[in-house]
Amino acid sequence: MRAVVLVAAAAVCTGGCGACEPSPPQGNDGAAASGAAATASAPPPPIDSARAHPPAQRLACRSIAVEGDVHVETTVDAGVVPLLIEGLVPTEGWLALGKGAKFVAKDPRTTRETTFRGPGRVRACVGYAEESWIGAGGFDSTMGSGESPGAEEWVVTPLAVIRYAAAKLSVDVRPKEETLSVTGGGVAFLWLGDDARFRLVNGGASEKKDEGWIRLDGSAVSVTPASGTPDTLDAARGALDRCSTLAKSTRELTSTLMAGGADAAVVTQQVTSRRLARAACDVANLRISALPPSEASMGLAKSLVEANAAWTTIGP
């Protein structure tokens, strides 16, 4: 049984690096200083620090190509802070891209490259990991860069989460529709929010879910809201409810494992539940961080901190 517990503990600490955030990297080059100043002046960032216990320190991604207007979102009096070529990509806060603008982020650990297209609002390398948030705009993966067994990139949108290890993935997020396409022989997996609808445009995809995820194999799909849009307080509250439910289930399964009263089936359930909780809480986080500041949105943010702690905590 000790082996089962050790496996479970390892599963909690791995397989979801995008949920981990260490202390910010140290550095004194101009790009790092600009990024730090922009983050300090920016509106309150998404709640990454509450998501998991930090692993060994990681380096932030760098922008290896920038075209057009790409800048860090800051307060009005902070001015415009452009993203510079070979500059550090902020791991907290959002980047705004003008029409026709784009930039390429490169992970210093895996060398994975991801492209972001405007007009849009995005976050790259969230939590110093292979995770991207697309509030609006476009995303493209680059096959052959930084791909290794078990290393997945997660792409979070207002309606869904897509994860892949090696695939040519393109994502476009618009107010009333998100389109996702996988080409080049790769495979990706799609998780949908409760208020999202899925439609196959072409290629191979199945409505059947594998542990809560839809397999996309050479597919193009459309994801739309079941009603309204995901940028409202009610939509954020609904996403948080699902996040909290899955986080609670994960915490209960983890407690069972750590107490030594579980078999291999419970180990599998815990790993599956934790992955689903991460996806649901990522969507909730994205939606909440897009809301204008208010007492209600601050209340949701506080509840999100608690939910994130529930699914990431190993001990009691």
Q: Convert the pLDDT of each residue in 17-28 to its tens digit.
A: 333 333 333 333
Which residues, including other chains, have CB under 8 Å from residue 182's CB and lie 6 or more apart?
Answer: 164, 167, 168, 169, 188, 203, 216, 217, 218, 219, 220
Tell me: pLDDT of 211 over 90.
no
Q: What pLDDT sits at residue 17?
A: 38
* 32-67 tens-digit pLDDT: 333 433 333 334 445 443 344 345 567 889 999 999
- The Cα 106–Cα 113 span in angstroms is 5
Tell me, what's the pLDDT at 208? Answer: 59
pLDDT(30) > 60: no
Q: Using pLDDT thresholds of 50, 70 and 90, give the confidence band for residue 295.
A: very high
Dump pLDDT digits (tens) for 234-279: 999 999 999 999 999 999 999 888 888 678 888 899 999 999 999 9
- Residue environment code for 285-311, b if the CB has 16+ CB neighbours within 10 A, otherwise e: bbbbbbbeeeeebeebbebbeebbebb
**Does 85 score more than 50 pLDDT?**
yes
Choice between 309 and 8, residue whose per-residue pLDDT is larger: 309
Tokens of 133: 């948030």
On whether the CB atoms of residues 271 and 11 are closer than 8 A, the answer is yes
Please determine, for residue 194, whether its predicted confidence score (pLDDT) is greater than 60. Answer: yes
Helix (H, G, I), strand (E, B) or coil at 13: helix
Q: Mean pLDDT across the stretch 290-295?
A: 92
d(CA 44, CA 48): 11
In this predicted model, which residue has the larger pLDDT, 63 or 5? 63
CA distance 111 to 134: 20
For residue 268, which amino acid is it?
Answer: T
Q: Which two tokens stand for residue 25?
A: 């990297």
- Across the range 64-85, mean pLDDT stands at 86
User: Is residue 38 helix, strand or coil?
Assistant: helix
Distances 251 to 12, 15, 243, 256, 282 between C-alpha atoms, Å:
10, 17, 12, 9, 17
Average pLDDT of the residues in 124-143? 92
Residue 173 has pLDDT above 90, yes or no: yes
Is it the case that residue 306 has pLDDT exceeding 60?
A: yes
Lowest-confidence pick of 80-84, 161-165, 259-263: 259-263
Length of the chain: 316
Its pTM stands at: 0.81
Question: Tokens 């500059």 correspond to what residue?
Answer: 87
H helix count then E strand count, the chain: 5, 14
275 Cβ contact partners less than 8 Å away, ≥ 6 residues apart: 15, 16, 211, 212
User: With contact defined as beta carbons under 8 Å apart, do 204 and 217 qualify?
Assistant: yes
More confident residue, 93 or 32: 93
Q: What is the mean pLDDT of residues 61-78?
A: 87
